[in-house]
């Protein structure tokens, strides 16, 4: 299986720094209660001096959304939405230990992180512009069709696993208790993204090693080396 961004995405967003991590053997019974607070504290410290919309990581995504023809205050990247909720409520809801961990790391780095159940992805996953024929399953079970040109995460069967790039994931490949093999994708566009994404991958790898008996495979991708081959078909 392969994860990649299309050449058109790289052409439109040359500052993009994506990181991908694959792990097998994830289970739901572990606890992340003693690990989340440190990341929450890091996010809280940043929000104490600036709104989430003022953070350079979020500003870069807002510019990207504007370039895609989206109103940034109507459609937010996932990390901005999480930070906004965290600022208002002081905590994030608990969903699944891996999702909770990734959400905490996401607000600490102010970078969107998506987690996909690999068993629900057909052969490959590519961030590309929609043709208009793809299907997207909402968390409430409704089927949508992304408009032509919208940036989506699409698999080989034309199923969209995320809409408006980093705005909203699909319910189809969401992590659940039965999930075992996962693809984690983090993407950044801000000036210090190369160093920050290296740090984020190290952080994720360390946490996964500590919580599950897994050996993650990871890569920080570039336009010259845009593909992450992470599992057999």
C-alpha dist (Å) from residue 144 to 122, 134, 171 = 18, 8, 12
- Judging by beta carbons within 10 Å of its beta carbon (0-12, 13-18, 19+), is residue 124 exposed, middle or buried? middle
How far apart, in whole angstroms, are the C-alpha atoms of residue 147 and residue 53? 27
User: Considering the entire predicted model, what is its pTM?
Assistant: 0.97
Query: Which pLDDT belongs to residue 12?
Result: 98
Please report, in tens digits, the pLDDT of each residue of the chain (233 residues total): 999 999 999 999 999 999 999 999 999 999 999 999 999 999 999 999 999 999 999 999 999 999 999 999 999 999 999 999 999 999 999 999 999 999 999 999 999 999 999 999 999 999 999 999 999 999 999 999 999 999 999 999 999 999 999 999 999 999 999 999 999 999 999 999 999 999 999 999 999 999 999 999 999 999 999 999 998 75
Long-range pairs, 202-206, Cβ under 8 A, ≥24: 203/105, 204/21, 204/102, 204/105, 205/21
Beta-carbon count within 10 A of 148 CB: 11
Strand partners, 182: 23, 117
What are the structure tokens assigned to 120, written together? 């629900």
> Residue 231 has what pLDDT?
84
Structure tokens at 233: 């078909």
What was the pLDDT predicted at 233? 57
pLDDT at position 119: 97
Shortest CA distance to 200 belongs to which of 113, 100, 95, 87?
A: 113
CB 182 within 8 A of CB 115: yes
């Amino acid at each position: 299986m392969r994860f990649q961004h299309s050449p058109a995405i790289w052409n439109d967003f040359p500052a993009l720094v994506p990181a991908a991590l694959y792990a097998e053997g994830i289970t739901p019974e572990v606890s992340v209660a003693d690990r989340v607070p440190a990341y929450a504290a890091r996010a809280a410290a940043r929000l104490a001096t600036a709104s989430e919309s003022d953070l350079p990581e979020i500003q870069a995504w807002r510019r990207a959304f504007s370039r895609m023809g989206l109103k940034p205050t109507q459609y937010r990247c996932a990390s901005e939405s999480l930070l906004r909720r965290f600022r208002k409520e002081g905590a994030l809801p608990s969903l699944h230990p891996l999702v909770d961990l990734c959400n905490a790391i996401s607000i600490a780095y102010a970078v969107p992180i998506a987690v996909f159940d690999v068993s629900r992805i057909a052969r490959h996953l590519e961030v590309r512009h929609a043709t208009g024929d793809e299907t997207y399953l909402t968390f409430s079970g409704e089927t949508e069709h992304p408009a032509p040109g919208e940036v989506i995460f699409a698999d080989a069967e034309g199923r969209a696993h995320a809409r408006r790039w980093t705005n909203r994931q699909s319910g189809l490949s969401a992590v659940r208790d039965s999930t075992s093999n996962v693809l984690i994708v983090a993407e950044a566009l801000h000036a210090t993204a190369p160093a920050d994404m290296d740090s984020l991958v190290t952080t994720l790898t360390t946490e996964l090693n500590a919580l599950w008996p897994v050996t993650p495979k990871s890569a920080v991708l570039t336009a010259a080396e845009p593909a992450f081959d992470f599992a057999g078909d």
